[in-house]
Amino acid sequence: MEDRRIGVYVCNCGTNIAKVVDCDAVSDFAKKLPGVAVARSYKYMCSNPGQEMIIQDIRELSLDRVVVAACSPRMHEPTFRKALQTAGINPYFLEMANIREQCSWVHDDARAATDKALALAHAAVRRVVHHEPLEKRFVDMCPATLVLGGGIAGLTAALELSDAGQPVFLVEKDDHLGGNLARVDLTAPYLDSARDMLADRIRRVLESPKIEVLLRSTLQSLSGFVGNFRAEIRVGADGARTVDVGSVLVATGFREFDARRIEHYGYGRLPNVVTSFELERMLREGRILTRGGRVPKYFAMIHCVGSRNPEYHGYCSRVCCMTALKYGHEIKSALPGAYVYDLYIDMHAFGKGCEDFYRRTAEMKTMFLMYAKGTTPEIVPSGPDDDCEMLIKVHEVLSGEEIEVPADLVVLMVGMEAREDAADVAHLVSISQDKDGWFIESHPKLDPVATTTEGVFIAGTCQAPKGIPGSVAQAEAAAARILGKISRGKIEVDAVFAEVDETRCSGCRMCNELCPYAAIEYDAATKRSRVISAVCKACGCCVAACPSGAIQGRHFTDRQIFSQIEGVLEWASSQG
């Protein structure tokens, strides 16, 4: 153990680390540690010259272990592992000491931050001595995909996958395909027909020999792991299907905000206060009438119903502003004499073509009235002399005046919210939800359709409110990710996972319910528990819980962790 040849590389990260931590002091300190053959400090270890430096040292100085004191391993562990591999040693002979996020970014005191960096470097050197060579493994990838949700996202992904020749099981809870988009008339900003958009896709899906559509169906359970999932599906009232799939795409969409929750808008009580989806239906049917059967003259759209209000949902639902503008167009083309008022907080017209659409709508003499965030317009009965059903009182922000506008039909622009069954779906497929109930992507910018469960993807409005282009783009992105996995044919399984030593397992079953990834199986015949290594995410819960010490985490053995802790403590005690 003591005759290890360790290389220690201290990254300055430009000035990110070096401005607080004395990087030269860290490398000088590391040089003197037992087993350390070389220690260097460099401006950017992750750069090509930085990696080259490590590779060259490994080859020329016969290094067998490497410590990189730099950023979080989440950032660059794969980079440096690759460097080790290129140099011809096992990539798991690397240990990173995080002296950026854990030192320079969180401390001002240069002396103390440097001391902490020394302690962490010492810990890493002590730990890396005990690193064992680990090999990645591969399992077969099942080419079929389970798509949950037959809305525009699910349909799009199913077509992309089937067009590439891969089988798809499309599970839809409703008795028809189309999802929320099937309830829409025209779409903003180009006023294309939603019906036309959907009809073609639905026809192609139904005709595809590669896609099996399961209507009135719900996922009951999902077991297995990326490349090898098994899904139990309830079909209709009492049918059941079991399908084997390699990937899962969750495209379960949204539900509309329940306008009853904002009581003073009177939805459900006032006959001519309707939701945007109810107006859509009138538009689709070509009959725009008040409850009394009269053709309305005055229309008022109230924006942000349930959105951008901390009492309901703090987020913007993204599509309602343009949808409201679209109503202006549709109403004025159906009823040229009608007046349209838009009561809005901010006009969010950020999509392609949307700002032009806003300008054209304004030119059509839609009246825009701005109300303040945190307030709500008030709906009051009209007087006997008014020629309208209701009056809306609003404090108009731009003019600063109290304004009353007439309304025969008040349209509440209801926002999107996570579906009532989102938590169940999340649990079934082992993904997470954010505070608003939307499914969480692997990375908000760089990995927007993957999730923390490998092989499970998300697309469309189940991830966050978005319009059709965003949903379609995500569906296609997810299909591309899935096809990429299928084309490789094999799934790489990380070499870091928990293992049960069956000669030590007592079958006590403490670990069985504990695994957040359902990676632990109990074998009733042998009375032993077993970790399915491909499913394991190496979180370590079972390792800690196993009372007989039968479960060990590869790359996180007791020996390695204790050495690391001792490294910190020894450094601290050497300082007195």
Partner 1 sequence: MPEKKLQIALYWGAACGGCDVAVLDTNEFVIGVGFLVDIRLWPIAADGKYRDVEAMADGELDCTLFHGAIRNSENEHLAKLLRRKSKVLVALGSCAHLGGIPGLANQVTKQEILERVYLDNPSIEAGNRVVPLPSTRVDAGELEIPRFYRRVYRLDDVVPVDYYVPGCPPAPEQVKAALQALVNGTLPPARSVIGASNRTVCDDCRRRKEEKKVTRFHRPWEILQDPDRCLMEQGILCAGSATRSGCGVRCPDSGMPCRGCYGPAPNVIDQGAKFVSAVSSIVDSKDPREIERILGDIPDILGYAYRFGLPASLLQRSIR
Cα distance between residue 556 and residue 551, in whole Å:
11
Report the residue number, 301 or 520, with the smaller CB distance to partner 1. Answer: 520
Adjacency order of strands within the sheet including 378-381: 378-381, 390-396, 401-407
Which of 510, 518, 568, 572 contacts partner 1 by CB under 8 A? 510
Q: How far is CA 363 from CA 322, 357, 553, in A?
A: 15, 10, 66
Tokens representing 17 are 């680390």
Site membership for partner 1, residue 72 (CB under 8 A): no
Site membership for partner 1, residue 504 (CB under 8 A): yes
Q: Shortest gap between Cβ of 509 and partner 1 (angstroms)? A: 5
Site membership for partner 1, residue 539 (CB under 8 A): no
Query: How many C-beta atoms lie closer than 10 Å to residue 418's C-beta?
Result: 25
Q: How far is CA 527 from CA 30, 243, 276, 513, in A?
A: 48, 29, 59, 16
Site membership for partner 1, residue 546 (CB under 8 A): yes
Cα distance between residue 442 and residue 452, in whole Å:
5
Q: Is 371 helix (H, G, I), strand (E, B) or coil?
A: coil
Site membership for partner 1, residue 511 (CB under 8 A): yes
Site membership for partner 1, residue 569 (CB under 8 A): no
Site membership for partner 1, residue 506 (CB under 8 A): yes
Strands 192-193 and 186-187 turn out to be antiparallel
Which of these ranges, 131-139, 156-164, 443-451, 546-554, lies near partner 1 under the rule CB under 8 A? 546-554
Q: Shortest gap between Cβ of 37 and partner 1 (angstroms)? A: 31
Contacts from 161-167 at CB under 8 Å and sequence distance 24+?
Answer: 161/210, 161/479, 161/482, 161/483, 162/205, 162/208, 162/210, 162/211, 164/479, 164/483, 165/210, 166/210, 166/482, 166/483, 166/486, 167/143, 167/210, 167/211, 167/212
Query: How many residues bind partner 1, per CB under 8 A?
Result: 23
Q: Shortest gap between Cβ of 497 and partner 1 (angstroms)? A: 18
Q: Return the closest-CA partner of residue 358 out of 147, 350, 196, 225.
A: 350
* Residue owning tokens 């190496």: 538
Site membership for partner 1, residue 541 (CB under 8 A): yes
Which of 469, 544, 569, 574 contacts partner 1 by CB under 8 A? 544
Which of these ranges, 348-356, 455-463, 503-511, 568-576, lies near partner 1 under the rule CB under 8 A? 503-511
Site membership for partner 1, residue 512 (CB under 8 A): yes
Binding mask 449-488 for partner 1 (x = CB under 8 A): ----------------------------------------
Which of these ranges, 160-168, 327-335, 425-433, 512-520, lies near partner 1 under the rule CB under 8 A? 512-520
Site membership for partner 1, residue 112 (CB under 8 A): no
Cα distance between residue 419 and residue 156, in whole Å:
20
Site membership for partner 1, residue 545 (CB under 8 A): yes
CB 277 within 8 A of CB 414: yes
Report the residue number, 48 or 573, with the smaller CB distance to partner 1. Answer: 573
Cα distance between residue 104 and residue 17, in whole Å:
5
Which of 550, 553, 554, 563 contacts partner 1 by CB under 8 A? 550
Site membership for partner 1, residue 558 (CB under 8 A): yes
Q: Phi and psi (nearest 5°) for 358?
A: -60, -45
Q: Shortest gap between Cβ of 284 and partner 1 (angstroms)? A: 44
Which of these ranges, 3-11, 24-32, 404-412, 505-513, lies near partner 1 under the rule CB under 8 A? 505-513
Cα distance between residue 543 and residue 121, in whole Å:
25
Report the residue number, 73 or 540, with the smaller CB distance to partner 1. Answer: 540
Residues 6 or more apart whose Cβ sits within 8 Å of residue 365: none
Q: Shortest gap between Cβ of 558 and partner 1 (angstroms)? A: 7
Which of these ranges, 93-101, 236-244, 258-266, 510-518, lies near partner 1 under the rule CB under 8 A? 510-518
Report the residue number, 190 or 562, with the smaller CB distance to partner 1. Answer: 562
Interface contacts to partner 1, rule CB under 8 A: 503-504, 506-514, 522, 527, 541, 544-550, 558, 562
